[in-house]
Amino acid sequence: MKHPFFKNYGPFKIKDLLDDLKLNNIENLSDDLVHDIRDLQTADKEHLTFFHSKKYHSQASKTKASYCITLKNLAHYLPKECKPICVDNVLLIISQITSKFYPDAINDDFDNSVKKIEELNFDNEIIHGHNVLVGENVKIGKNCSIGHNTIIEKNVNIGSDCSIGSNVIIRNTIIENNVAILDGCIIGKKGFGFFPEKNKNFRYPHIGIVIIEDDVEIGCNNTIDRGSLSNTVIGRNTFIDNQVHIAHNVEIGKNCIITGQVGFAGSSKIGNNVKIGGQAGISGHIKIGNNVEIGGGSGVIKNIPDNSKVMGYPAKEIRKFLKENR
C-alpha cells in the first residue's frame, strides 16, 4: 500500500541494501527484492523488519517478514521463513535502512505547498478564521471549522463535523469524524527518536503517522508525535486535557480520560476505559490494561493489569499506597 505522506524509494535488493552499509559479513544473501520496512506485527513476506529486545519475542515469533535485522542472541525466536540478519547495533542499522527507503522523512521541513484557504476549492463550506494555510491534497469533510493562524499540511485527511482551533499545526495525520482539537496543538511532527553512537546522537526517520479516531477531544497545547515505523493512535471517544505530550508509537484506547500535563513515553500501549490523573508519567514500551485508574502525579514504570487502581512513584496498588502514606 502506498504511504499517504512519504515517498517510498524502494524496492531494493536485500544484498545491495546491506552492501551499501558495509555489512559484507552476512552470508547466503540472495537478490530478493525488499519493498518496504515494517514493524514485526505489520510486516509481510516482501518486507524487512527488526527485533532488538527480548520483550518483543512473541511478536517476533509470528512475524511474516522475509528478513529481520536482529541480535545474534535473539535470532532463534524468529520463524524459519524469516532470515535473521545479525548485527551489533540493530537500531543504527534499521535507521540507515529506513533512510534509504524514506529519505524525505529524516527532516521535518515546512510544507511549501500551503496556500491561504480562501484560494482553494473544497466540496464543502468550511468556517475558518484569518490566516489559515492548507497544503495540497488535503481533504476536509462536512461541517468543519478551523481557527485563526492554523496550518494543515499536505495530504492530511479530516473527517466531518470536526473543529480545529487557532494556532494549530497538523501534518502526517488522519482525523476521523466529530473530533475537536483545541488551540495551540502540534500534531504529527517527528518524535524524539534518537540513539547515541560513538559520542554522536543519531536520529532515526519517523515514517509512521497519527490516527485520531471518531469523537475525540484534544485539549489546548497538546503535542502528539507521529510514529517511527508504526502509528500513533488516539482511540474513539477519548478526551484529553490541556498540555499533554504523546510520544511516537503510543496507542491510547477507546473511552479514555487523560487529564492535564500527563506524559506518555514512546511505544506505550494504553487500554480502553483508562483514567489518568494530572501530571502522571507513563514510561515507554509498557502496557496498561483496560479499566485502569492512575492517580495524579504517579510514575508508571511497568505493565499494569486490567481493572487496577494505582498511585505513587513508582505506581503501586492504591490501597497499599494510601496505607503507606497515612
Domain 172-324 has CATH 2.160.10.10: yes
> What is the percent of the chain where pLDDT is above 90?
82
| pLDDT at residue 7 tops 90 | yes
Is it the case that residue 1 has pLDDT exceeding 80?
Answer: no
Q: Which CATH architecture has domain 12-105?
A: 3-Layer(aba) Sandwich (3.40)
Mean local confidence (pLDDT), 188-204: 83
pLDDT value at 47 more than 90: yes
Choice between 309 and 30, residue whose per-residue pLDDT is larger: 309
- Average of pLDDT values for 204-229? 96
Q: What is the mean pLDDT of residues 253-272?
A: 97
User: What pLDDT is recorded for position 249?
Assistant: 96
Query: What distances in angstroms separate CA 228 from CA 117, 166, 237, 266, one per listed residue?
Result: 30, 27, 25, 9
What pLDDT is attached to residue 238? 98
Confidence (pLDDT) at 61: 97
Determine the Cα–Cα distance for residues 290 and 274; give it in Å rounded to an integer: 6
Residue 248 annotated among the catalytic residues of the structure: yes
Mean pLDDT over 288-292 rounds to: 98
Question: Do 146 and 117 contact (CB within 8 A), yes or no?
Answer: yes
Structure confidence at residue 27 (pLDDT): 65
Residue 271 is predicted with a pLDDT of: 98
Among candidate residues 213, 223, 154, the one with its CA nearest the CA of residue 184: 223
Contact (CB, 8 A) for 230 and 42:
yes
Task: Please compute the mean of the pLDDT values over residues 154-176 and round it to a whole number.
Answer: 98
Q: Where are the domains of the chain?
A: 12-105, 172-324
pLDDT (mean) for 221-226: 98
Residue-level pLDDT at 25: 62
Distances 73 to 85, 86, 165, 179, 279 between C-alpha atoms, Å: 12, 9, 50, 45, 38
pLDDT band at 31 (very low <50, low <70, confident <90, very high): confident
Which residue is catalytic, options 47, 128, 206, 248? 248
Element (H, E) at 59: helix 57-62
Count CB-CB contacts under 10 A for residue 162: 23
